[in-house]
Amino acid sequence: MRLTNAFKSGIFNLIFQLLFLTIMFLLGFESRLGVHQGLRFLILASMALVSGLVWVWFFYLQDRRKPEPIPYIIATFIAGMAAWALLGHPLINLIYQANEWIHASMFLFVQGSFLVKAMVFSLVLFGFIRFGIMPLKEFDEPVDGMVYGAVTGAGYAVAQAVQELWIHPDYTLFVIAYIITTKVMAFSAVGSLMGHYIGKAKFLKRSFQMYSVMGVTLGILLLGFYLVINEFLFVAGLPQVFWLSFIFTMFYTILILIFCTFKMKRLTRIRPDKSRRHRFQFRPLMLVYTAGLFITGSVIAANGCGGLQYINSQYGISFNYPHALSSPGFQGLSRDFHLTSSSTETLFSRNHIGHPRFRLKLEVKKDAGKLDNSQLMSFISFPKTESMRIQNVVIGQKRGKRIAWSYLEAPSLKSVEFPTLIKVITDIIPVKNSHFIFTFTTPSSEFEAGIIKYNRIVSGLSWTGK
């Protein structure tokens, strides 16, 4: 029976994902892709495509009674990747700027997971299936919705995984495989359930808008719940957390597949209404619901992007900094070689969560006198700098000096890795008899992305009473 085969294909896919992750664990638990950028992209894309296309292939292979045309399945998978590149990524990372604030606190993460990340995925997937797949004559029975939903979700997950992995060159092969497999399983499973309700919306003589709203809502709830629980596993610091997360994802996927299969078996007993036509129409309920979701996401994003404000009335200095500047120290920047003395006071020190990793520190050196070039080296206490450059800078309409320098961070005693190159920007701004010292520190691999955020922070700095 087609439904049983569809369920079996999902189980076979889960087994493949487990074997794929196990092989990467044995071969690359500590290995990184230290290859040319072009070759690295091809390897990442190949690994992601293999994991995603296996899901697609199994759905097609097991569907022998009335299979969907192969070109339609492949086109749907490609469209899923395009959905992330053209809609998902711009909305989440550029318009809502979720990566700027979503990891700042658990409260913001819950809001962002449900009403930004899961909301965008659900609406994008629904819109593609509703206007791209549903009008096709090949969409001729309710179970097709589950197949096309799963394939679209797999394509969306593959494109998202490749982009995430590309900006993290320090990930090991095992971590790469983990990210790919978990994303493909979670997004495909949620997509299949959404496709189930979209199929019901087309073929049953009931409210089309009701099933549309139900499908999008379930997509938001299921994907949001998965993202939050999965993040909690990592925050809790549990042992073997990658494997624990993979097992959680696998069983979560199985539960959704079982539910979809059960629902589809019942649905096939109902004679579909094939006389219904689904031309493009403005649906008031769905339009209002979609607008409400986007507005809610915008309010959450505005609160997240607004960040927090640092005000020091004693020294008359203030600036805005993102929510994500709130974590404790992270590996690779655990030591601070910057100037500290009895005359230097730390006013502000925060670490940015997620990508890019960096530390921002503000100090003030009182009764410092006039700043001249002979003093500049005293602001760098680490004796073995790898490079150094000095230039003029203006911050908050105050002129000062910028020292761009770097040093090598030694690996831990148990590590076999090479030392990490750490890049530092030290800005010294003289104001009356004090020197304000801004220090931006980041691994070299994340410098380009981090310096953009740092410049954004200091560009909004203002001085009062100085």
Closest CA to 316 of 429, 182, 160: 429
Q: Which residues contact 236 (CB under 8 A, 6 or more apart)?
A: none
* pLDDT confidence band for 329 (50 / 70 / 90): very low
Closest CA to 351 of 375, 322, 328, 334: 328
Q: Is the pLDDT of residue 334 over 60?
A: no
* pLDDT confidence band for 116 (50 / 70 / 90): very high
The average pLDDT across 440-460 equals 90
**Most confident listed range (220-224, 301-305, 411-415):** 220-224
**pLDDT number for residue 330:** 41
Closest CA to 263 of 209, 216, 219, 198: 198
Residue 373, token pair as written in the block: 């070039």
Sign of the alpha-carbon dihedral angle for 285, 289, 295, 299: positive
Residue 171: CB atoms within 10 Å: 19
How large is the C-alpha radius of gyration of the chain? Answer: 26
Q: What mean pLDDT value characterizes the chain?
A: 80
pLDDT digits (tens, 9 = 90+) for 61-88: 545 456 667 788 888 999 999 999 999 9
Cα angle at 346 between 386 and 324, to 5 degrees? 80
Q: Is the pLDDT of residue 132 over 80?
A: yes
Tell me: cis bond preceding 142? Omega within 30 of 0 counts: no
The average pLDDT across 281-306 equals 85
**pLDDT number for residue 121:** 96
Helix (H) or strand (E) holding 311: strand 308-312
Q: Give CA 357 to chain center in angstroms.
A: 14
For the ranges 20-29, 332-341, 375-384, which has the lowest average pLDDT?
332-341
Of the chain, the end-to-end C-alpha distance in Å amounts to 79
d(CA 139, CA 124): 19
d(CA 341, CA 324): 28
Cα angle at 264 between 258 and 269, to 5 degrees? 140
Residue 36, token pair as written in the block: 């040319």
* pLDDT confidence band for 360 (50 / 70 / 90): very high
For 377, which DSSP code? G
SS3 62: helix
Residue 196: CB atoms within 10 Å: 26
* pLDDT confidence band for 89 (50 / 70 / 90): very high
Burial class (CB in 10 A: 0-12, 13-18, 19+), 112: buried
* Ramachandran region, residue 432 (left: φ > 0; alpha: ψ -120 to 50; beta: rest): left
d(CA 32, CA 46): 16
Q: Which residue has the higher pLDDT, 342 or 117?
A: 117
Do the bridges between strand 462-463 and strand 317-321 make them parallel or antiparallel, or are there none, so unpaired? antiparallel
Fold of 308-463: Protein Transport Mog1p; Chain A (3.40.1000)
* pLDDT confidence band for 438 (50 / 70 / 90): very high
The average pLDDT across 180-209 equals 82
Indicate the domain borders of the chain.
2-306, 308-463
SS3 142: coil
pLDDT digits (tens, 9 = 90+) for 300-328: 998 888 788 888 888 889 988 887 786 54
**pLDDT number for residue 1:** 46
Closest CA to 125 of 163, 172, 159, 165: 159
Cβ pair 96, 116 in contact under 8 A: yes
**pLDDT number for residue 328:** 47
Q: What is the pTM of this model?
A: 0.76
Cβ pair 393, 438 in contact under 8 A: no
**pLDDT number for residue 3:** 45
The average pLDDT across 207-211 equals 77
Burial class (CB in 10 A: 0-12, 13-18, 19+), 39: exposed
Dihedrals phi, psi of 405, to nearest 5 degrees: -145, 170
Residue 225: CB atoms within 10 Å: 16
Helix residue ranges per DSSP H, 167-308? 173-203, 208-235, 241-267, 284-306
